[in-house]
Each structure stands twice: as structure tokens, then as C-alpha cells.
Structure 1
Amino acid sequence: MQRLLTSARQFLPAAQRAGGLADLQRVGGYTAARLFSTDADSHDDFKPQVKAAPAGDVEATIEKDIASHDVFIYMKGVPQAPMCGFSNMACAILNLYGVEYGSRNVLADPEVREGIKRYTAWPTIPQVFIKGEFVGGSDILHEMHQKGELKKALEGCKPADD
């Protein structure tokens, strides 16, 4: 341990001369990477992105989403490329019935991801709405499908434009 501290101390003056550890490029044969992505010369893609929307805006977005389609799913990914098995299963079931449905990728907007959980008091994603009513997640959708209840719930919903 003592040896490690001695080694670290020998680099400290060089780091201070270089303007701090974030700017230290090469000291004593070791390469140090930039530690912070907020440097002025860092590309915007690597800087922290902050999207702060008031809770009312998230709820309004959710209500608009649900009203815009007979069937709507909040999922991880998009229907053409689900990012989790549960979202994939929910989309597969909906596709089986040939109904048009809207979707929102909750991975793209963390505020909607948390907002939909508060809105429904349901802790998991995906979340499916049929005719404005919250149905549940993929497990509930699967159970409804097996019991024949989903066919009845989807009656009158707009068919997909295949």
C-alpha cells in the first residue's frame, strides 16, 4: 500500500502542471484519458443531455398518446425493433390480431418512462391501453389472449394497414 501511495505522489506534481488530471495526456509512461465529457473541445453528443419537463407536460403527453389510437403501447424500443422480451411479446400478440396500434419508446424519454408508471400505478413496461383504458403489461395481454378475452376487447379497433 505504501508503495502505491509513493507512486501516486510522484505523478501529482506533473498532473498539476498539466492543468489537472482531466488534461493530463502522458506522464511517466502512462496515458491518462480525459475524465470529463464537459470539456469545451468535447463533441456535443458526449456532453450531458438534460430534458426537464414539468410533470403536467408528461401527463398531457400520455393522455394525448392514449387518445390518438384505439390501441397504444408504452414499450422499450419500437414495434419493428423491441428492446426487451416483454415488449416483443406484447407487439407479437397485437400483430397477431392485425390491429393498428401506436407506441412510444420509453427508453428515449426517461420522464415518460417514470410518468407512465405513476399514471397507471403499474411498475413495469410495457403498458398497453385499449380504447383509452389501461389493460396491463405483456403478461395480462398474454392471459387475455389465451382466454379469448383479447379478441373481444379489440373488436371495433382500426385494422393495421398491412
Structure 2
Amino acid sequence: MQRAIAAGRLWLPAARSAALVDLQRAGGLAGPRLYSAATTDDADSHDDFKPKVKAAPSAGVDATIEKDISSHDVFIYMKGVPEAPMCGFSNMACAILNLYGVQYGSRNVLADPEVREGVKRFTAWPTVPQIFIKGEFVGGSDILHEMHQKGELKQALEGCAQQD
């Protein structure tokens, strides 16, 4: 019970904490420390917790993306590589593409944070993997899976180079 009350002090507004102080003085709570959002100061915060401003990706990232998607019939920006995906969604996307036997290029976004953020900005799609077919952005693994289930993916991949 004392732990639950002590933990509650962390989120109770400062106005309500006066009753907790009275309870503590009466011997009902351990520890004199009360917290209030008004007492936190960014100057006292560790650098890891301070707000950060991300720089916009350079124009070179957009050129890299354009080159990637124009030089392959099918291209995937993913976590890891097709032989060793680093997330379940990337794994599923590769498995679906492998099922159709198409050749596809890939780029590991974990190896280049600029490309990871750049492709999200390029497509206005917040997650990875991202799949392009014939230069057009298709979507993520969920969209690819849905297209596969509806039979639309077979049609979209017609004319794409096949694996050897």
C-alpha cells in the first residue's frame, strides 16, 4: 500500500500533494520527495531527454532514392538485407517478393540514417519497409500483402525481371 501511495506521488498534481505531505508527516508514507511538473527544468535535464531538431536530408539522398528506384523494376527500402531481414515486416515483404520470383534491389536503411529519414519524406510514408514497383511507390509490407491476397500484385509485377 505504501508503495502504491508513494508511486502515486509521481503523477499527482502539486495542489493535491499537500494532503500527501500531511499523511507523510503523520508517518503514513516513506520518503519526503514530491514531484511536480512545474519544478522540472530543461537546464537540469540530461542531453538525451532534451528536444532535438533533425536536419533535413540532403539533396543527395533524394538523388540516391531516384537512382535506386529507376534502376530496378522492384526496389525495397528495408531494415536489413533480403538474406537477413532485421524486422518482421521487412521479412514478410521479402518473402512475398520471393514468392513471385522477381528480381529486386534493396537498401538497408539501418546502415544509413539519412536514407531512412529521406525515404520517409520522399514518399510521405512513415514506416519501413517501402516497396517501389516500376518506379512507383506501392506502400509498405501491409499494402504488399493486401495486393497479394487480392491478386493485384501478380498484375503489378508483370514484365518485371525474374530471378535467375
Per the TM superposition, whether the score is higher than 0.5 is yes
Aligned to 2:84: 81
What residue ranges of structure 2 are gaps of 5+ in the alignment?
1-54
Which one of the candidate residues 60, 64, 68 is aligned to 1:65? 68
**Identity score, percent:** 86
Counterpart code for 2:150: K
* Number of equivalent positions: 110
Aligned to 2:98: 95
CA distance in 1, matches of 2:90, 2:57: 27
CA distance in 2, matches of 1:80, 1:95: 11
CA distance in 2, matches of 1:73, 1:121: 16
Give the superposition deviation at 1:133.
Answer: 0.1
Counterpart code for 2:67: K
Residue 142 in structure 1 maps to residue 145 in structure 2: yes
| SS of alignment partner, residue 148 of structure 2 | helix
Aligned partners of 2:57 and 2:117 also within 8 Å: no
Counterpart code for 1:79: P
Give the superposition deviation at 1:102.
Answer: 0.1
Deviations 1:90-123 (A, max 9, x none): 0000000000000000000000000000000000
What residue ranges of structure 1 are gaps of 5+ in the alignment?
1-51
Aligned partners of 2:76 and 2:132 also within 8 Å: yes
Aligned partners of 2:57 and 2:114 also within 8 Å: no
Q: Give the TM-score normalised by the residue count of structure 2.
A: 0.66
Moved over 2 A (4+): none
Counterpart code for 2:93: A
How large is the RMSD of aligned CA atoms in angstroms?
1.4
